[in-house]
Amino acid sequence: MLDLRKLRLLRELAHRGTIAAVAEALSYTPSAVSQQLAALEREAGRSLLTRTGRRVTLTPAGALLVEHTEAILAGVERAEAALAANAPGLSGSVRLGAFPTALRTVVLPAMLEIGRAEPDLQLTVTEVDPADVPDRLRTDQLDLALVHEYDNVPSTVGAGIELEPLLDEVVYLASSTPLDECGTAVIRSHAANNWIVGNPGTLCHTMAVRTCQSHGFEPRVAHQVDDFATVLGLVAAGAGVALVPQLAATDVPAGVVLTALPIRRRTGIAYRRGSRSQPAFEVVGAELHRAARHLDSGACAS
């Protein structure tokens, strides 16, 4: 009989690539992970890993087992959701991850409504970059999370995660000087300017760099800042230009000019596959959608 805990380790190895990364994510020692995977190979009666020095890759049998593990784990999630649906009342806790601009504009209103309507349901919130969400969901550090993608930075959540569309935003170019150009032409007009972008590794950084590159230039990065309120303050001070999504454009300082671009940021709710029908998760998801519809009605227009 294959052990579910060992299968989880194999699945994490497929996603993370190294035994050391799996050990760090799951609070094991590398030797313990190696021992568990070796035991799984004995249970399976097949070689699941190919070891070359310190590098480990999955054999075809290992990749096949990971594929089935994803289905098994999704089935476990559905079973837990079915049991929860038969429980009386709604209680317990839900761990929600979200990126900063969504925390203020979507999560906070939803959290307040849940606290009023479902006092026995505890919603805890963690700020998390969308790039980190899939790993944190798969390792059960979060129950659901808000993620986003841009037109030129598509989602890469990977296996084991399902997405539910939530919100579609416009992206603005924020500058301190009005220009006659509109649309993408305004980006080329700032090719020689200083740029304010997110930190490397974030989706916002990648989006800004790729947008400039698609218009024939590398951005002259003067500042790397993730907090959009600070970004807009830097723009107002004449420190550079920036690309800013709609949720970040709620409190625009005097002197900042926003030009709408034909670039979209799409936000979704990410769940572990099979868990979406958990009654508590459904309540949280419904309130997130309610808050997002309020924004769509004009609350975040600038």
pLDDT digits 0-9 by tens, 84-133: 988 887 888 999 999 999 999 999 999 999 999 999 999 999 999 898 99
- What domains are there in the chain, each with its CATH number? 4-84 (1.10.10.10), 90-165+267-299 (3.40.190.10), 169-264 (3.40.190.10)
Encoded tokens for 123 = 């919603």
The separation between CA 208 and the C-alpha centre of its own chain, rounded to angstroms, equals 17
HEC secondary structure over 103-170:
HHHHHHHHHHHHHHHCCCEEEEEEECCHHHHHHHHHCCCCCEEEEEEECCECCCCCCCEEEEEEEEEE
Q: What is the DSSP string of 216-258?
A: T---EEEEE---HHHHHHHHHTTS-BEEEEGGG-SSPPTT-EE
Identify residue 279 by its one-letter amino acid code: P
Instruction: Say whether pTM exceeds 0.95.
Output: no
Q: What proportions of the chain, in percent to the nearest 5, are helix, strand and coil?
A: 45, 25, 30
The C-alpha R_g of the chain, in whole angstroms, comes to 22
Please count the other Cβ atoms lying within 10 Å of the Cβ belonging to residue 262: 10
Region 193-205 average pLDDT:
93
For residue 184, pLDDT over 90 is answered with: no
Encoded tokens for 186 = 């305004």
Region 41-66 average pLDDT:
91
pLDDT of residue 86: 86
pLDDT of residue 180: 60
Q: How far apart are the first and last CA of the chain?
A: 59
For residue 15, pLDDT over 70 is answered with: yes
* Spatial contact of 22 and 32, defined as CB atoms under 8 Å apart: no
**H/E run at residue 187:** helix 185-188
Nearest to 99 by CA among 268, 274, 253, 287: 268
Nearest to 53 by CA among 6, 14, 15, 18: 18
Average pLDDT for the chain: 91
Nearest to 139 by CA among 8, 269, 6: 8
**Look-up of token digits 């990065």:** 221
Encoded tokens for 104 = 């203020």
For residue 301, pLDDT over 50 is answered with: no
Tell me the backbone φ, ψ of residue 213, rounded to 5 degrees: -60, -35
Nearest to 179 by CA among 285, 232, 277, 258: 258
pLDDT digits 0-9 by tens, 230-272: 999 999 999 999 999 999 998 899 999 999 999 999 999 999 9
Handedness of CA 188, 191, 197, 200 (dihedral sign): positive
**Look-up of token digits 């508590």:** 280
* Spatial contact of 231 and 196, defined as CB atoms under 8 Å apart: yes
